[in-house]
Every structure is written in C-alpha cells, then in structure tokens.
C-alpha cells in the first residue's frame, strides 16, 4: 500500500521522499525523465547552507568574489571575507539526493509521466510508464514537479504570478569569476549571469521580454564565445507567493509551489527548507490519520511565516528594480560602489535572504530611497 506519492525527482521531491521513507512510510517517487539530474536546468550557485543541509559532495567551485556590471559597464566587485556562495554540480547533486531517498526506502520510478491527480477518499495519480497507463492510490500526494507542475494544475491550485523563460549555455572558457550583468539590452526585467563550471563556465539569463534566447546569443557574440558553446538548455523560473499550496491529501513544494527567490530565481535552498517543513507536517498528519486540507494547511502556514514573507518582499523589490531605467541602474551601481556601502554588502549580504540587507543599506546610504521610494521602507 502506497502512503506517499511524490511527483518529480528533483532535489526537493527527493528530499521529501527521503524523509517520509525514513519515517517508515511507503513512498513512491514518479519521475518523467529517464535519468535523474538531466537535463540540467540550473547554474548550481547556492549558499553554504545548502551544503550543510544536504552534506553534499557535489561542490565544484568556491568563488571568492562576484562582479556586478551595470548597463554602462561600471562594475561593482564584492569580495566578502565569509564564504557566501558555492557552485554545485547540479546533476551530481540530484543523483546524491536520489541515492539518499533510495537508501531510506523510497521507490523511484523513472519514465513515469504523471497526467492527473484526483481525490475521492484517497488520492489517485494517473501516469504513463513506458507507454502504459497506470494508476496509484496514495494517502497523500506531494507535487514536486517543478515550475509547470501538473499536480498544481490538476488540483486547481493558483498559478505563479510570473513565469520567466530562462536559457543557459555551457561555454569553454578560462576566465571565470561569478558575474552578473544588468540592463535593458542584456537581460530586460532580470539579469544575465556567468558562473564558473568545471573546465568552463555557465552563461545564462532570464528576461521578461520574450527574447531570452536572442539576448544570450548576442551576449555570447559580443564576448567572442558563440563558437565555444558546448550545450544550450532552456528552463523557466516561477515567481510570486502562492496563496494556496495545499489541498485535500495534497501539498505542493519547491518550484511547483513557487518557493523561489524573486531577485535571483534561485530555488534550491528555499525548496529544501520547504521540503523539510512539508515532510514534518505530512509525517505527523499520517500518524494522526488526518490528511485533510485543514490539517495540511499547517505546512502552508509555516512556509508563509518564513519563505512566503521573503518571497513577498522579494516581489516588491523586484517590481522596483523592473521599473528602473538603465540610467537609474547605472546610478544605483555607482552608489553601491562607495566604500562604506560596499562594505555593508560584503558583510551583510546573504544570497538566501536578499531583503535582510536593505535595512542596513538604507541606514548607511539613505540616498538609496531615491531609487526605491517609500515602498522599501514600508517593508520593515
Ligand atoms: C536556467 C536556470 C538556472 C538556475 N540556477 C539556479 C541557481 O544557480 N541556484 C538555485 O538555487 N536555483 C537555480 N535555479 C532554480 C532551480 O533549478 C530550481 O529552483 C530547483 O530545481 C527546484 O527544484 P524542484 O525539485 O522543486 O524542481 P525541479 O528541479 O524542476 O524538479 C522537478 C522534477 O519533476 C519532474 N516532472 C515534471 N513534470 C512531471 C510529470 N508530469 N510527471 C513526472 N515528473 C515530472 C521533472 O522532470 C523534474 O525532474 C535555476 C533555474 C533555471 C531555469
């Protein structure tokens, strides 16, 4: 008898599966792809918290600095004393997570494409495995099936406020600091990144103008890298704070629940955090024999207090940045380059909790209010 069905063998679903299987609940993971961790749709830039949380051995780079480039080419170099970010090999990371889930007893079924979930007493999941239609009945279903989640759609749960298309290239290169590029010509509405990876680097971007791929190619050409591309991939980044992530015998987690930082698009840390909250609530609910929406809403509420607040603040700040002209971004970078302001970023900057820096930044450089207006102040 299946107690927990997790849809999606990304890091977040696998984390939930590891936890519920370890607690002794019969857990099945359904994954549409034939290989765990591929295709990679991620730059793998995460905070050291992710390493602590997962004990991963997939760290491949420990960048010492990050360079933020303004539209006019001004650059701000951040060199923090404390390590703020590492790069993981995302495919290896996912395989490690799968190994842990398997070792705890989860049954991972590849090539299993979920088509529908319904609830009539228990939850039923319909999926296609190697051309055959199959169904599984479960006490509870966890939708960890990424940004375009079929579980979210079939359960009638809310859609993300924004979904940004993203592209990424693996490029051969030996000049590889972490770099961020801002501006309406490079990546309107978001940013372009360069992240060291193995023998080269990952160059990727998201934008809100529907021309993401074109921007990537233009950037690669401008750097003479268009003939150095090894692979190209695309993905999506879901943004916004979902007002509902649970239903009768069902929870959404990770990208399917929009557990993504609106200012960076990073979702691994928030997703893993949500996965632990989700499994904690689900395990208790299974013990009590109460998988009602009311019981599971504890998971949603607990996420809202931390992750949801971060996402809502991030969205407000995102809107401010989105509305800024290139000239304003140039001016903003000039202000952030001032020694005292840069020091605050280096000391207090946190890639998981972006909004934490705004209060100390405003204290050091009240002139920043010029860019943000009263919205930023109202967030604290
Ligand atoms: C270009 C790009 C770069 C990124 N860079 C970073 C970064 O540097 N750092 C960071 O923290 N985050 C980054 N992210 C975000 C990060 O990749 C996600 O937040 C993270 O993968 C979320 O994990 P997840 O397990 O929730 O979902 P996913 O990793 O998307 O896993 C979902 C799984 O569900 C499976 N699935 C989907 N539909 C079905 C179905 N119908 N049936 C069965 N299985 C299904 C998928 O195949 C997939 O394996 C990036 C995203 C993109 C697009």
How would you class 62 by CB atoms within 10 Å of its CB: exposed for 0-12, middle for 13-18, buried for 19 or more? exposed
Instruction: Quick: pLDDT tens for 15-63.
Output: 999 999 999 999 999 999 999 999 999 999 999 999 999 999 999 999 9
Query: What spacing in Å lies between the alpha carbon of 196 and ligand 1's midpoint?
Result: 20
CA distances from 130 to 2, 25, 111, 113 (A): 21, 26, 6, 9
The domain ranges of the chain are 4-42+89-160+242-317, 162-239, 322-378
pLDDT value for 379: 57
Q: Evaluate: CB of 275 within 6 angstroms of ligand 1.
A: no
Query: What spacing in Å lies between the alpha carbon of 223 and ligand 1's midpoint?
Result: 29
Q: Evaluate: CB of 45 within 6 angstroms of ligand 1.
A: yes
- Of the candidates 250, 271, 282, which has an alpha carbon nearest to the alpha carbon of residue 124? 250
Probe ligand 1: pick from 30, 44, 135, 255, max atoms within 8 Å of CB?
A: 255
Number of H helices, E strands in the chain: 13, 19
Q: Tell the residue nearest (CA) to atom 33 of ligand 1.
A: 8
Alpha-carbon span 182 to 37, nearest angstrom: 29
Partners of 250 in beta bridges: 141, 247
Partners of 59 in beta bridges: 88
**Does the N-terminal peptide bond of residue 8 adopt cis geometry, omega within 30 degrees of 0?**
no
Q: Evaluate: CB of 114 within 6 angstroms of ligand 1.
A: yes
pLDDT of residue 65 exceeding 80, the answer is yes
Q: What is the CATH number of domain 4-42+89-160+242-317?
A: 3.50.50.60
List strand residue ranges (DSSP E) for 226-360, in order: 229-239, 246-247, 250-252
Alpha-carbon span 211 to 197, nearest angstrom: 25
Query: What spacing in Å lies between the alpha carbon of 5 and ligand 1's midpoint?
Result: 18
Strand order in the sheet with 250-252: 107-109, 27-30, 4-7, 140-143, 250-252, 246-247
What phi and psi, each to the nearest 5 degrees, are found at residue 161? -65, -40
Angle at which helices 11-22 and 90-103 cross, to 10°: 20
Q: Evaluate: CB of 7 within 6 angstroms of ligand 1.
A: yes
Confidence of residue 1 (pLDDT cuts 50, 70, 90): confident
> What are 185's two structure tokens?
């010509």
Probe ligand 1: pick from 29, 32, 116, max atoms within 8 Å of CB?
A: 32
Query: What spacing in Å lies between the alpha carbon of 146 and ligand 1's midpoint?
Result: 5
Say which CATH superfamily domain 162-239 falls into: D-Amino Acid Oxidase, subunit A, domain 2 (3.30.9.10)
pLDDT of residue 377 exceeding 70, the answer is no
Q: Evaluate: CB of 266 within 6 angstroms of ligand 1.
A: yes
Alpha-carbon span 75 to 334, nearest angstrom: 9
β-pair type (192-197, 59-61): unpaired
Alpha-carbon span 351 to 328, nearest angstrom: 23
> What are 261's two structure tokens?
């930082």
Alpha-carbon span 44 to 57, nearest angstrom: 13
Alpha helix stretches (DSSP H) within the chain? 11-22, 48-54, 90-103, 150-154, 212-222, 268-288, 293-303, 309-322, 326-336, 339-348, 358-364, 369-372, 374-378
Instruction: Quick: pLDDT tens for 295-346.
Output: 999 999 999 999 999 999 999 999 988 999 999 999 999 999 999 999 999 9
Q: Evaluate: CB of 260 within 6 angstroms of ligand 1.
A: yes
Helix or strand (DSSP H, E) at 163: strand 162-172
> What are 142's two structure tokens?
């966890």
Query: What spacing in Å lies between the alpha carbon of 145 and ligand 1's midpoint?
Result: 8
Partners of 172 in beta bridges: 200
Least confident stretch, 3-7, 45-49, 173-177 = 173-177
Non-local (6+) Cβ contacts of 375 within 8 A are 316, 319, 320
Instruction: Quick: pLDDT tens for 71-119.
Output: 999 999 999 888 899 999 999 999 999 999 999 999 999 999 999 999 9
Residue 273: CA count within 13 A, CB half-sphere: 23
How would you class 380 by CB atoms within 10 Å of its CB: exposed for 0-12, middle for 13-18, buried for 19 or more? exposed
Query: What spacing in Å lies between the alpha carbon of 7 and ligand 1's midpoint?
Result: 12
């Amino acid at each position: 008898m299946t107690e927990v069905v997790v849809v999606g063998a990304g890091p977040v679903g696998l984390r939930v599966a590891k936890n519920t299987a370890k607690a002794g609940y019969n857990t099945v993971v359904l994954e549409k792809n034939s290989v765990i961790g591929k295709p990679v749709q991620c730059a793998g830039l995460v905070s050291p918290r992710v390493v602590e949380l997962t004990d991963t051995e997939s760290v491949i780079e420990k960048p010492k600095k990050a360079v933020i480039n303004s539209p006019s080419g001004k650059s701000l170099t951040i060199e923090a004393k404390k390590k703020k970010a590492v790069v993981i090999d995302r495919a290896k990371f996912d395989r490690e997570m799968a190994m842990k889930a398997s070792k705890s007893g989860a049954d991972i079924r590849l090539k299993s494409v979920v088509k529908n979930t319904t609830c009539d007493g228990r939850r039923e999941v319909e999926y296609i495995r190697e051309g055959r239609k199959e169904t599984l009945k479960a006490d509870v279903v966890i939708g960890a099936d990424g940004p375009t989640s079929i579980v979210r759609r079939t359960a009638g749960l809310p859609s993300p406020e924004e979904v940004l298309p993203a592209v990424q290239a693996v490029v051969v290169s030996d000049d590889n600091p972490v770099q961020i590029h801002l501006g309406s010509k490079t990546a309107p509405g978001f940013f372009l990144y360069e992240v060291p990876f193995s023998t080269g680097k990952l160059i990727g971007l998201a934008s809100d103008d529907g021309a993401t791929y074109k921007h990537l190619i233009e950037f690669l050409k401008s750097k003479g890298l268009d003939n150095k591309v090894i692979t190209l991939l695309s993905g999506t980044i879901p943004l916004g704070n979902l007002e509902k992530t649970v239903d009768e015998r069902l929870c959404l987690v990770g990208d399917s629940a929009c557990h993504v930082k609106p200012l960076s698009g990073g979702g691994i840390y928030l997703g893993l955090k949500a996965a632990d909250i989700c499994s904690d609530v689900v395990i208790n609910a299974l013990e009590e024999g109460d998988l009602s929406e009311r019981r599971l809403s504890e998971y949603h509420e607990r996420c809202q207090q931390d992750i949801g607040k971060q996402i809502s603040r991030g969205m407000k700040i995102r809107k401010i940045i989105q509305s800024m002209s290139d000239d304003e971004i140039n001016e903003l970078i000039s202000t952030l380059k001032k020694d005292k302001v840069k020091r605050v970023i280096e000391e207090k900057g946190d890639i998981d909790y972006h909004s934490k820096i705004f209060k100390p930044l405003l204290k050091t450089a009240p002139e920043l209010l010029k860019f943000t207006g009263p919205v930023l102040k109202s967030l604290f």
